Amino acid sequence: MFTVQTRIRVERLKEIVRGCIKNNRQSQSELYKMFSSKMYGVCMRYAGNSSDAQDILQDGFIKVFENLKGFKWDGSLEGWMKRIFVNLALDKYRSKITTLSVDEMNQDKDFTDKEATALDTMSEKEILALIKQLPDQYRLVFNLYVMDGHSHNEIAQILDIGVSTSRSNLARAKTILKEKIDYQSQWIEKAI
């Protein structure tokens, strides 16, 4: 059951969307202000640098405004928008993705106690900064699998790569992150 305040917010959002569909600049500005910081976070996760993230954000809102009339209110507007931004980010990097041979696939290992301790001491911002340092093909697979919950079959279809390549890229991403976290934990030990 919705509260009165929730109903008012939903009705206001619908009013803003109707304005956006009519190309009303004020409505577009309001929608942008409501969602830009969340969508920028999504863009940064996939882009890896602020310049590319800004490009994706701008292109994403253009695409949102162009396609709002097709949005069905049977789902979340934020979720629908997020899908647009993720797809744009993936399109931007799809051509850069390189594949690794299956021979390079690493076994998935749990974090050691030392790595877990380092993770516990790191802020979310620091962890995201480490993820941002991954090469594009590893970061995309890592984000899709770990952050967005896609299966390797889905990732293979989204990125037009093999399932084994998706697994390999995820394993390599985890290995790189573990190395970075291990380095971080050594730094923490020295500081203590």
In this predicted structure, what is the pLDDT of residue 98? 34
CB atoms within 10 A of CB 151: 12
* Average of per-residue pLDDT values in the chain: 81
What's the rounded Cα separation, in Å, for the pair 16 and 117? 46
- Name the more confident of 178 and 163: 163
For residue 94, pLDDT over 50 is answered with yes
The residues of the chain that CATH labels 1.10.1740.10 are 4-94
In this predicted structure, what is the pLDDT of residue 84? 94
State what percent of residues in the chain have pLDDT above 90.
Answer: 42
In this predicted structure, what is the pLDDT of residue 95? 44
- First and final C-alpha spacing in the chain: 52
Task: Give the lowest-confidence range in 36-50, 73-87, 124-138, 140-154.
Answer: 124-138
Whether 145 contacts 158, CB under 8 Å: no
For residue 187, pLDDT over 90 is answered with no
Q: What pTM value is reported for the model?
A: 0.58
- Name the more confident of 187 and 5: 5
Q: Does domain 102-191 have CATH number 1.10.10.10?
A: yes
pLDDT digits (tens, 9 = 90+) for 116-157: 555 556 676 777 788 888 998 899 999 899 888 889 999 998
For residue 55, pLDDT over 80 is answered with yes
Average pLDDT rounded to a whole number, residues 51-65: 94
Q: How confident is the model at residue 27 (pLDDT cuts 50, 70, 90)?
A: very high
79 CB contacts (<8 Å, ≥6 apart)? none
The residues of the chain that CATH labels 1.10.10.10 are 102-191
Residue whose structure tokens are 């009339």:
69
- Name the more confident of 191 and 185: 185
Task: Return the CATH fold of 4-94.
Answer: Rna Polymerase Sigma Factor; Chain: A (1.10.1740)
For residue 171, pLDDT over 50 is answered with yes
What's the rounded Cα separation, in Å, for the pair 59 and 64? 9
Task: Give the lowest-confidence range in 69-78, 97-106, 107-116.
Answer: 97-106
* Strands annotated E in the chain: none
What's the rounded Cα separation, in Å, for the pair 118 and 187? 9
For residue 96, pLDDT over 70 is answered with no
